[in-house]
Chains A and B, each alone.
Chain A
Amino acid sequence: MAQVTLTNVKKIYPGGVEAVKGVSFDIPDGGFCVLVGPSGCGKSTLLRMVAGLETISAGEVSIGPRVVNQIGPAERDIAMVFQNYALYPHMSVYENMSYGLRNLGTPKDEIDRRVKEAARILAIEPLLDRRPKQLSGGQRQRVAMGRAIVRKPQVFLFDEPLSNLDAKLRVQMRVEIKKLQRALGVTAIYVTHDQVEAMTLSDKLVVMNAGQVEQIGLPAEVYKKPASKFVATFIGSPPMNILPGTIDGPGIVALGDAILEARDLRQDLSPQTPVEVGLRPEDVEIASEDEAGSLPFDVEFIEELGATQLFHGQLAGLPFVMQAATDAVAAVAGRIWITVDPDRVHVFDSKTGARLGR
């Protein structure tokens, strides 16, 4: 097991395109780090640099005490699960899982023991003689995991491993991956564009955008205090409402006519500074008109989700969405009044998108 450290890692392609623009973070031994971001943000490239499948243009990657920049993928003591599983189609499941060990010259009985053990853990023992073609998506996924396990690597790398599965299986495999990683105690780096996977799996969440890290933290931290407008809108579903506003005083923002308290807001901003105010649909509560600080919300239509409802409409003349428990209000359009917890008002710089927090 090992700690993984990235120091100012860059990827510059011939032609000058900078896919990764200097990324630094570390993952403690046994940690589960998820790299999340939209497609093209550089997360996969970063993972592939850790794997040794891409060369590192600048900076350093170390696994344990070793700097691995110049070390080939096979010697890095890693295993990788690919998006399309990358199983060898001409080999049986057993041969797929044992291929790496055979390349290392591991004794036959040792290979056999390890493959059988991995197969038992993953419950794929009856499949060992089959070819990948004869397996379902979920089974292939397990074989790909098995191939990673048998090598007993220091680090597991996952490149969007669940994106080819249907929704139900994805949830199930997500849980299994987490359990397995805990049980084996292996350091893991996991790339995904799915924010639910990112939130549920990680104990260290790295949000990336345009080749840069936007925020690093515990998933709950990232959700509660997004470091930028990008993170705020990327993490959370339905996405956070972003409304243009201005500073009205210390800890106070104005949205059109409405005034809103924001406890986390920096105090040193001069009034009339344009800002962007972020409100999560689930942080808004229904109130009565005479309640202090309540805002008028003109509901235009309602989406029924079962446990909750989504109210679409206009807040201070701007498009707005809120989420509330189904039994909260009658499902009719028209004006209602809402309040927001001052601890959950996010304010961002209107130019840079950075959080204006204390």
Chain B
Amino acid sequence: MQKNAYFTGLTVPLLLLLPQLVITVLFFYWPASQAVWQSFLLQDAFGISTDFVWFENYITLFSNPGYYKALINTAIFSSFVCVLSLSIALLFAVMADRQLRGGEIYKTLLIWPYAVAPAIAGVLWLFMFDPSLGMLARGLQSLGIAWNPRLDGNHAMALVILAATWKQISYNFLFFLAGLQSIPKSVIEAAVIDGAGPWRRFWTIVFPLLSPTTFFLLVVNIVYVFFDTFGIIDTVTGGGPSGATETLVYKVYSDGKGGSDLGGSAAQSVILLIMVIAMTAVQFRFIERKVSY
């Protein structure tokens, strides 16, 4: 944790830290504290007077069915994206981990979607599944499915899940592959000599040894689904139809956008903030455990 050889002094290190600290305070701590403060304030309809209302914004929030809907949407959205992207990525990683001829090319071809902006990924999938001109949408319609994500909330949810999963596979793939490659080859060989076939080997040796990676990815993916997918939802559905794809983060944005409900939006921000801090804490516990593994 600490170097044994170091410099002393106070001015120089503080000067070195200054840019980072100024920006952090100005754009992190101040806005975050503002959010907390605002969550206790209520503006009247004309924005003329502002009252300190204690937890009223929170109470309003928790009695609003729309907020629960966003909560449920987020839960559905994140579980689908996490499960799908993690399992598909694991499958690809296990396949790519075999020493195949041309394996490196496959790896390159599978990782680049990481570089695609979520908003652009949304546009790509929107285009394929556009109910009137999308190639895949037409395919579904010819199968007799009345595909229309603009009207059907389930269709809209399915579409954003697909786009978000597509974008996230490459990231998970990369980490799973790194995790697989860090398992010592001799451990696998020992299992081969111990008579475990490929299937049994995977479930009794490889998968347990991969569990730190899986857990890490799970946390990162939840954070991804919560926040980074904003661009996907905004371009694909805009939260619609009628709030069917409105997640917690999207709701913070749409409620605060017009400036109409700053207090409510701030209260939502604070709740998200607490969630993120909780996840960070979980991740921390996990890092500690990993060290002792």
- Residues A100 and B209 in contact, CB atoms below 8 Å apart: no
**Interface residue count for B (Cβ, 8 Å)?**
19
Which A residues touch B192, using CB under 8 A?
52-53, 72-74
Q: Is A83 an interface residue (CB 8 A)?
A: yes
A86/B194 in contact, CB under 8 A? no
**Do A79 and B195 have beta carbons less than 8 Å apart?**
no
CB distance from B116 to the nearest CB of A (A): 36
- The number of chain A residues with a CB under 8 A from chain B is 25
Distance from B103 Cβ to chain A, minimum over Cβ atoms (Å)? 14
CB–CB B186/A86 < 8 A: yes
- Complex interface bits, B183-220 against A, C-beta within 8 A gives 1, otherwise 0: 01011011111111000100011001101000000000
Tell whether B293 is near chain A: CB-to-CB under 8 Å.
Answer: yes
Are A89 and B193 neighbours in the complex by a CB distance under 8 Å? no
Please name all residues of chain A whose beta carbon is closer than 8 Å to the beta carbon of B184 when the two chains form the complex. Answer: 84, 86
- Contact present for A74 and B209 (CB under 8 Å): no
- Give the distance in Å from the alpha carbon of A52 to the alpha carbon of B194 in the complex: 12
List the A side residues contacting B186 at CB < 8 Å: 82-84, 86
Contact between A103 and B200 (Cβ–Cβ < 8 Å)?
Answer: yes
Cβ–Cβ contact A80 & B193, under 8 A: yes
Query: How many angstroms from the CA of A104 to the CA of B208 in the assembled complex?
Result: 21
A86-B187, A88-B187, A90-B209 in contact; A99/B193 too (CB < 8 A)? no
A256, B209: Cα distance in complex, Å: 65
Distance in angstroms from A71 CB to nearest chain B CB is 12
B187 contacts across to A, CB distance below 8 A: 86-89
- Smallest distance from the beta carbon of B274 to chain A beta carbons, Å? 33
Q: Chain A, 230-242, contact with B by CB distance < 8 Å: what is the 0/1 string?
A: 0000000000000
Contact present for A82 and B189 (CB under 8 Å): yes
Q: Which residue of A lies closest to B193 (CB)?
A: A73
* CB nearest neighbor in A for B204: A99
B34: shortest Cβ distance to chain A, in Å? 47
Residues from chain A with Cβ under 8 Å of B194 in the complex: 74, 99-100, 103, 147, 151
Residues of the A chain whose Cβ atoms lie less than 8 Å from the Cβ of B292: 133
- Residues in B with CB closer than 8 Å to A147 are 190, 194
Q: Are B190 and A51 in contact (CB under 8 A)?
A: no
| A80 (CB) vs chain B CBs: closest residue | B193
B residues within 8 A CB of A51?
189, 193
Determine the chain B residues whose CB is within 8 A of the CB of A53 once the complex forms. Answer: 189, 192-193
Interface string of B103-127 (1 = CB under 8 A from A): 0000000000000000000000000
Nearest 9 pairs of A and B residues by beta carbon:
A100-B194, A74-B195, A86-B186, A103-B195, A86-B190, A82-B186, A90-B208, A73-B193, A86-B187
Q: A74-B193, A103-B195 are in contact. List 19 more A-B contacts (CB 8 A).
A: A52-B193, A53-B189, A53-B193, A74-B194, A80-B189, A80-B190, A82-B186, A83-B186, A86-B189, A87-B187, A87-B190, A88-B190, A88-B205, A89-B293, A90-B208, A90-B293, A99-B191, A99-B204, A100-B194
A-B contact pairs, 16 of them (CB 8 A): A53-B189, A53-B192, A73-B193, A74-B192, A74-B196, A75-B195, A79-B193, A80-B193, A86-B184, A86-B186, A90-B209, A99-B194, A100-B194, A103-B194, A133-B293, A147-B194
Q: Which residues of A contact B (CB under 8 A)?
A: 51-53, 72-75, 78-80, 82-84, 86-90, 99-100, 103-104, 133, 147, 151
